[in-house]
């Protein structure tokens, strides 16, 4: 197959008139012709798809207070919480301790687990056996309103 402005391989011919170049070619992407990429060109970015990997397990929470301020998490921020993820050392997680939800970094060690705030004015919380504690979900994104 040969079309005007394209050579036998579907590449843009050297003598093709500039104004007739398809957009893809102008941007230097050397795809075959017809380009399989055109199938995807109408899909706008969908933040739901990007921020929510497991819709059945994703919940949101709002930050109150400044216990994670040094990690850049401020009052009013919205947290994307994925309950499906296995908690790992260093994760920022929503935990339920002493009757309220609290946001902390998880530090696993041989004796158990420490919940570490990102603000020196707050104490770490040691989780031992028999503690009234629940790891509720792992934070995957923090959404901030700027204006």
Partner 1 sequence: MFALVDCNNFFVSCERVFRPDLEGKAVVVLSNNDGCVVSRSNESKAMGIKMGVPFYQVKHFVDEGKLHAFSSNYALYGDLSSRVMSLLADAVPKIEIYSIDEAFLHLDGIDPETVPQLCADLVAKIRKWVGVPVSIGVAPTKTLAKIASHFAKKYKGYKGVCMMDTDAKRLKALELTPIDEVWGIGRRLAPKMLEKNVRTALDFVQRPCEWVASNFNINTVRTWEELRGRVCHEEEREERRKSICTSRSFADMIEDERELVLRVSDFAAMCAQKLREEGSAAYDVTTFMYTNRFRDDLAQYFPSVTIRLDVAANSAQEIVGAALKAFRTIFRQGYKYKKAGVIVSNIIASDAIQASIFDFDDELRQKHDRLSKVMDAVNSAAEASGSASGRSMLRLATQRPGHYADGIRSDFRSRLYSTSLDDIIEIH
DSSP character at residue 70 = G
Smallest gap from residue 2 Cβ to partner 1 (A): 26
113 is an interface residue for partner 1 by CB under 8 A:
no
Smallest gap from residue 111 Cβ to partner 1 (A): 24
Tokens encoding 4: 């005007």
Per-residue interface string for the shown chain with partner 1, residues 60-99, x marking contact by CB under 8 A: xxxxxx-x----------xx---xx---------x-x--x
Tokens encoding 95: 């935990």
**Of 23, 35, 49, 67, which is the active-site residue?**
67
Q: Is 23 a catalytic residue?
A: no
Tokens encoding 147: 């204006």
**Interface residue list for partner 1 (CB under 8 A):** 43, 49, 54-57, 59-65, 67, 78-79, 83-84, 94, 96, 99-103, 134, 136
């Amino acid at each position: 197959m040969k079309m005007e402005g394209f050579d036998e391989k579907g590449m843009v011919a050297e003598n093709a008139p500039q104004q007739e170049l398809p957009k893809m070619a102008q941007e230097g992407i050397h795809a075959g012709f017809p380009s399989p990429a055109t199938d995807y060109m109408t899909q706008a970015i969908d933040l739901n798809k990007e921020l929510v990997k497991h819709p059945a397990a994703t919940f949101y929470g709002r930050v109150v207070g400044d216990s994670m301020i040094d990690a850049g998490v401020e009052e009013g921020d919205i947290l994307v919480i994925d309950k499906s993820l296995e908690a790992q050392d260093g994760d920022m997680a929503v935990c339920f301790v002493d009757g309220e939800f609290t946001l902390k970094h998880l530090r696993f060690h041989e004796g158990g687990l420490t919940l570490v705030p990102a603000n020196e004015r707050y104490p770490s919380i040691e989780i031992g056996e028999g503690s009234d504690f629940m790891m509720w979900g792992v934070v995957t994104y923090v959404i901030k309103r700027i204006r």
